[in-house]
């Protein structure tokens, strides 16, 4: 098994073990086209977390984190093959979160989002 496949399998296991904490959400991707703005909704599995000191040290978007922001972890296998933009939103339990920034591990196993309530 390759390292990439091992990381993906590990991420799937973590989300399975923490199934009671994982929530269903909608990732709304907004695109600008020649005829106007369009949006497409995708179903995703998301795990919310808080930012900690180590995040400030290791995340590329650490300087953007505000005290009320939340971390959203989305399982790579449930995330669409799209280019994420700050126009996109994540919707969970009728709450909309703006996508302030994001990163993804090299295997594409877990996407980490900096989310801010809208």
pLDDT digits (tens, 9 = 90+) for 44-75: 999 999 988 777 777 788 888 888 999 999 99
> Position of tokens 């980490």?
112
CATH number at residue 93: 2.40.10
Low-confidence ranges of the chain (pLDDT < 50): none
Question: How many independent structural domains does the chain possess?
Answer: 1
Domain extent for 81: 3-117
Spell out where 34-109 has E strands: 36-49, 70-75, 89-92, 95-104
Whether 112 and 59 have beta carbons less than 8 Å apart is answered as yes
Tell me which residue of 71, 72, 92, 87 sits closest to 37, measured CA to CA: 87
């Amino acid at each position: 098994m390759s390292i990439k496949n091992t990381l993906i399998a590990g991420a799937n296991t973590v989300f399975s073990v923490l199934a009671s904490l994982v929530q269903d959400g909608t990732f709304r991707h907004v695109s600008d086209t020649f005829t106007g703005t369009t949006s497409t909704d995708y179903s995703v599995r998301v795990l919310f977390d808080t930012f900690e000191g180590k995040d400030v040290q290791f995340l590329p978007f650490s300087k953007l984190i505000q005290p009320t922001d939340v971390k959203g972890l989305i399982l790579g296998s449930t995330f669409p093959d799209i280019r994420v933009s700050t126009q996109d939103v994540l919707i969970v339990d009728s709450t909309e979160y703006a996508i302030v920034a994001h990163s993804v591990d090299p295997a594409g196993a877990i996407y980490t989002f900096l989310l801010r309530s809208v």
